[in-house]
Amino acid sequence: MKAATPQTTTIREAREDDLARIREIYNQGIADGNATLDVEPKSEEEIALWFGQHRDGRYTVLVAERDGALAGWASLNPYSHRCAYAGVADLSVYVARESRGSGVGAGLLDAIDGVARRAGFHKIVLFALAENSAGNALYRKLGYRDVGVFAEQGRLGGRFVDVTIKEKLLHPSVLFVCRHNTGRSQMAEAFLRYFGGDSIEVASAGTIAADRPDPGVVAVMAEVGIDISRARPKLLSPSMLARAGRIITMGCDVDVPRLDDDWGLPDPKGQPLDRVREIREAVRAKAAQLAEMLAPSTPS
């Protein structure tokens, strides 16, 4: 028997020609009775009106595509029209029946985090049926905190059901990308984590990940009290790119679909330790400046 071929999932912004499938997936959620308190299937006109309300640049609709077919969608929606709530987005996410439990939902949630950060949202909230144990487990796994429960909030199938309230604070997110993820990007990740603490989500990756950090880089980082000897270079993935609020390259020629900054630093590989120390200090200064910009209340 042949092994199943892993399916590739692509997440992108929704288009008008996706609306029929978005409607179909949403109506599946209504029919299954475990995803929404809506009970009447949505019409083409209702979905078109809903989509028209998501075109202002902040309230985005994403779709997950597998082998040319839409497998799910997620949207950021207004939580309130009061200006005090401008930093809060409400989340909707629906996965087609045949794709549930296959990672589509997790991919959409990762991607919507990055979209929300770039749109300037501070927090995402969502309301989920308490009976949807698989969905609630996924939300918790991906950082959503249980706020409380609306007891007997609505009627489904002739009975009252509970609705859980969840929230996720969106810390600034930075991804450092280099070719091998052994030197500059590893230093940048370590320094930004040092300066930003828990207030900044930070990662680094390479387009061709190596086996271990450069020994000279490990040595000069140890001199300033930061141990990266156990760090392992990571291979850049689409989910990393989708999740990142800010993508920074280090001065190497790498192909990324979106780039926010290039620090333009020389490669420390094979350099004398004095030169590696100079590069370390340049990375430290840039990381401290970035931490202050992203989380100014964080002591550096």
Q: What is the pLDDT of residue 297?
A: 55
**Gap between the Cα atoms of 271 and 269, Å rounded:** 6
Residue 298 has pLDDT above 70, yes or no: no
**Gap between the Cα atoms of 11 and 103, Å rounded:** 12
Q: What is the pLDDT of residue 7?
A: 66
pLDDT band for position 4 (cuts 50, 70, 90): very low
Q: Quick: pLDDT tens for 231-279.
A: 999 999 988 888 888 999 999 889 888 888 999 999 999 999 999 999 9
Residue 3 has pLDDT above 90, yes or no: no
Closest Cα to residue 130, out of 159, 170, 168? 159
Residue 300 has pLDDT above 50, yes or no: no
Instruction: Please report, rounded to a whole number, the percentage of residues in the chain having pLDDT higher than 70.
Output: 96
Instruction: Please report, rounded to a whole number, the percentage of residues in the chain having pLDDT higher than 90.
Output: 68
CA 99-104-107 angle, to 5 degrees, is 180
CATH level 3 topology of 9-169: Aminopeptidase (3.40.630)
Q: What is the mean pLDDT of residues 116-139?
A: 91
Q: Is 17 helix (H, G, I), strand (E, B) or coil?
A: helix
Residue 228 has pLDDT above 80, yes or no: yes
Strand boundaries in the chain, DSSP class E: 9-13, 61-66, 69-78, 88-95, 123-129, 145-156, 159-169, 173-178, 201-206, 246-249, 261-262
Q: What is the mean pLDDT of residues 188-207?
A: 94
Q: Quick: pLDDT tens for 63-84.
A: 999 888 999 999 999 999 899 9
Task: Name the pairing type of β-strands 246-249 and 173-178.
Answer: parallel
What is the rounded (10 degree) CA torsion for 210, 216, 218, 223? -170
Residue 120 has pLDDT above 50, yes or no: yes
Tokens of 60: 């985005």
Long-range contacts (CB closer than 8 Å, 24 or more residues apart) made by 136-145: 136/164, 136/166, 138/105, 138/106, 138/109, 139/109, 139/166, 141/106, 142/106, 142/109, 142/110, 142/168, 143/168, 144/168
Residue 169 has pLDDT above 50, yes or no: yes
Cβ neighbors of 37 (< 8 A, separation 6 or more) are 129, 153, 154, 156, 161, 163
Domains 9-169 and 173-294 share a fold: no
Cβ neighbors of 249 (< 8 A, separation 6 or more) are 176, 177, 178, 256, 259, 261, 262, 263
Which of the residue ranges 18-22, 115-119, 198-202 has the most confident prediction, judged by mean pLDDT? 18-22
Residue 6 has pLDDT above 80, yes or no: no
Q: Quick: pLDDT tens for 17-48.
A: 999 999 999 999 999 888 888 889 999 999 99
Q: Where are the domains of the chain?
A: 9-169, 173-294
Please tell us whether the domain made up of 173-294 is placed in CATH 3.40.50.2300. Answer: yes
